[in-house]
Amino acid sequence: MKVSTGMIRHSVGCILGISALVCTAAANGQPQTPPPQANITIDTDAPTRTYDRMIFGGFLEHFDNQIYGGVFDPGSPLADAQGFRTDVIAALTEMKMPVIRWPGGCFVDAYLWQKGVGKNREPYGDYRWGVIESNTFGTDEFVEFCRRIGAEPYICFNGTTSPQENLDWVAYCNATQGKCAEMRETNGHPDPFNVKFWSVGNEQYDKAYIDRVRDTAKEMRRLYPSLKIMCAGAQDGMKGVHDYLMEQAGAYLDYVSIHSYALNRGDELPRHDYLTAISRSEEPAAFIANITGSLREKDPAGRIKIAYDEWNLRAWQHPGFPRGEIKSYDAAEVQELVAKRRAQNDLPDQYTMADALFTASFLNACLQHSDTVTMANIAPLVNTRGPLFVHPEGLVKRTHFHALSMYSNLLQPHVSTSQVESDQLEGTVIATVDAIATVDDTGKHWSIALINRHPSKAVSCTLNLKAMPLDGTFKATVLAGDSPDSYNDIRRPDRVVPQETELIIKKGITSLPPHSLIILDISREK
């Protein structure tokens, strides 16, 4: 993105149907300073790139109420006979969720998959998160849940155990014969699950881990050549992928996994205002660029892709954890941290328009780097910091649920070349406006995502397709809210929802309402 602070000023158009958000200056008749400016030019003749829909994926971990009381709630009137929450299935189907990563995360470091399959499940102490894991939701249930919503299952191995332990897990899911295939058949699943995506461990980078990656991935590649294999590559603060990883395991990998959370956790729940939160919107793009540069030094042909398989605006709140051991799961200190402090993740007023617009900005970064980033998984998908808040009586679609759903449902399949010039957002070093242009197979139907990050000001935006100004009324879907701090909760679940409206563009100029995401539809003859 190119940022310009000295752009020519333009007059402001209006968006029909949301006049309360725009054109306030014209309504009150008072002298106003010129609005912030943006100029977006889309090259309709340039080659386009087809992006991978796996960037709209999610992540579920056995942490707090993501699994139990989230996607899986046996005995609930909202669950089916197998214990799956039908309202969650409906919401994720609406979102067209393409892939889900599971079971961790930090949780997987203590996970033994055999204890979570079959009729005789073995509960155990999960020392990473300080609870007793019942194992009533395991591999069989995870794969079934993914099938219910049409998502690809993506399994993350225990990166601390032996390669054989994890190779047996692959065989349990994918083999047609042998002891693990027989175990799966005994458990009621005669046909292979055909799990395509696998990661060797989570957030480990030392040489002993890399050696396990090499040994595991090499054998996986020999036994199952079509699998997509990845491992931990980098996370917040790291500038590149370890040379030793690429030397030892690069030949067997399809992806490296990267993780980042823009806003840190704390011992006390951090409270970030809108401007502080939204000012982090361009960090994922910078992180992707750094890791891409590092990868290309070691993989010039670009064979290895990036799976950004943990990302979110807000880091999970889990003071005192993860741990390497737990002496007593009933200890008062453990219970206090688990039952009360951890529950702060679900306080609804944290999830404002900042979460929605950060999410849109993140997806723009993935689309802009679609030749490298071919999977992304919001962490998590349900509860904690996720776009869906699930409770005993129903669910709430947080603001970032709607942003994800808009991108998944409304964008076209190819990314076009575009240039965005924008004034900086006051008080930050980022652009006020971000945008991405997508187009269908014919080149005639365009869907353009427009983000105005300003908390209170509409932006005068010039749109050019092939340097030709647009003029007329166009269909649009807008996500805004009555303030930048708007959020959805049980009492008001629909305070922030997408609205279908029309956007007036006059001589190429339109107005983007404050703190908004707009996806604009344009049909154009070539």
Weakest-pLDDT range from 10-19, 251-260, 368-377, 436-445: 10-19
* pLDDT at position 362 over 50: yes
Q: What percent of the chain has pLDDT over 70?
A: 93
Stated as kind and residue range, the H or E segment containing 517 is strand 516-523
Q: Which residues contact 414 (CB under 8 A, 6 or more apart)?
A: 48, 49, 50, 51, 438, 439, 440, 441
Establish whether domains 2-50+413-523 and 53-410 are of one fold.
Answer: no
Q: What φ, ψ does residue 522 adopt, rounded to 5°? A: -135, 120
CA angle, corner 212, sides to 159 and 137, nearest 5? Answer: 25
| DSSP tag of 63 | S
CB 311 within 8 A of CB 261: yes
Domain boundaries, the chain: 2-50+413-523, 53-410
- What pLDDT score was predicted for residue 32? 67
Closest CA to 200 of 129, 132, 255, 131: 255
CB 480 within 8 A of CB 497: no
Cα separation, 487 vs 270, whole angstroms:
17
Task: Please give the CATH number for the structural domain made up of 2-50+413-523.
Answer: 2.60.40.1180
Weakest-pLDDT range from 223-237, 240-254, 281-295, 465-479: 465-479
What's the token pair of residue 422? 């924008």
CB 296 within 8 A of CB 362: no
Q: What residue type is 428 in one-letter code? A: T
Each residue's pLDDT tens digit, 386-415? 999 999 999 999 999 999 999 999 999 999
- What pLDDT score was predicted for residue 33? 81
Mean pLDDT of the chain: 93
Stated as kind and residue range, the H or E segment containing 102 is strand 99-102
Q: What are the b/e assignments for 62-77, b being 16+ CB within 10 Å?
A: bbbbbbbbbbbbeebe
CB 309 within 8 A of CB 481: no
The third-level CATH classification (topology) of the domain covering 53-410 is TIM Barrel (3.20.20)
Q: What residue type is 398 in one-letter code? A: R
Each residue's pLDDT tens digit, 139-176? 999 999 999 999 999 999 999 999 999 999 999 999 99
